[in-house]
Amino acid sequence: MIIRRAEVLGMCMGVRRAEALAREAGAAGIASGKKVFTYGPLIHNPQAIESLRKYGVQVLDTEQFEHGLFDELARNSIVIIRAHGAPLSTFERLKALSATIIDATCPRVLASQKKAVQLLQAGYIVIIAGDASHGEVASILGHAPGALVAENPESARQLANSIKTSKAALIAQTTIKESEYQAIEAALKEKFPSLLVIQTICPATRDRQEALRKLAETVDALVIAGGKNSANTRRLYMAALESGKPAWHIEKPEELPDEVFNKEVVGLTAGASTPDFIVDEVEKYLMQGAKKYGTAE
């Protein structure tokens, strides 16, 4: 068996940076005796969260925190703001609790927050194309109160009908699919022909999708490593299935079926929230399995 990795795979710049900051914060917590939390799960990957827990980093439930349920726990602690960012009110509450804030908001998300504020100040109605329940969208709304969210073309049309002004601007959740963004843009343009469309989609997802498509042409099967609750990993899996090759989405190597060891060339990729150690573990498991089944190269 030959194992071929995608040219671009695994953690994106923003998540990698947030993870490194969380590990540093974990060490600082041990040294100072302070509790260390991430504001919501840092990464959509259970193994990565477990690994951070070993560094003393726990997860604060964002909703419960916003309802004041963790005030005593968070007081004087160290809190890492994840790559999605957080609303301004969260920063203020943490400061009021004398927490040390480590801001790991991805620079791309920071740019979206800033852009939304600038557009509102310039008199635009700002519409964010994305998932209203996603942490990044919540963080942009929390910096640019008054912005609106369109999750799909239908909700975009409904929103457009309720807006009285013609000065509207559209920005994207960084991880939205380009085709979904274009569909929302088209729906809004029915009402706002001069809609100002800002390009805020992060290339990380597209780069991984592109690399997967190229990889699929050269392999017999595909393995996609990453959290089952990671949207971008699930999209990679969908793209893998669309390639027509057998594909498996796994969180742990042991989830792979024995069938994979009969394949001559296996492609390996991972979502933008999958840590390197998991990719390495999957590769090692494939190599060991191939040796056991006598299909190793």
Q: Which of residues 231-270 bind ligand SF4 (CB under 6 A)?
A: none
108 near ligand SF4 (CB under 6 A) = yes
**Minimum CB distance to ligand SF4, residue 43 (Å):** 10
Beta strand residue intervals within the chain, DSSP E? 2-5, 36-39, 57-60, 78-81, 100-103, 125-129, 148-150, 168-172, 196-197, 221-225, 247-250, 265-270
Under 8 Å CB-to-CB from 102, ≥6 apart: which residues? 21, 22, 24, 25, 78, 79, 80, 81
State how far the Cα of 40 lies from the Cα of 34, in Å rounded to an integer. 18
204 near ligand SF4 (CB under 6 A) = yes
174 near ligand SF4 (CB under 6 A) = yes
Distances (CA, A) of 84 to 10, 238, 240: 17, 23, 26
Identity at 24, one-letter amino acid code: E
**Minimum CB distance to ligand SF4, residue 158 (Å):** 28
83 near ligand SF4 (CB under 6 A) = yes
**Which one, 160 or 171, has the nearer CB to ligand SF4?**
171
**Residue length, the chain?**
297
Instruction: From 9-17, 43-51, 58-66, 191-199, give the range in contact with ligand SF4 by CB under 6 A.
Output: 9-17
Is 154 one of the annotated active-site residues of the chain?
no
**Which one, 13 or 73, has the nearer CB to ligand SF4?**
13
**Which one, 206 or 291, has the nearer CB to ligand SF4?**
206
Closest-approach residue to ligand SF4 (CB): 14
**Which one, 108 or 143, has the nearer CB to ligand SF4?**
108
Active site residues: 136
Q: Which residues bind ligand SF4 (CB under 6 A)?
A: 12-15, 83, 106, 108-109, 174-175, 202, 204, 272
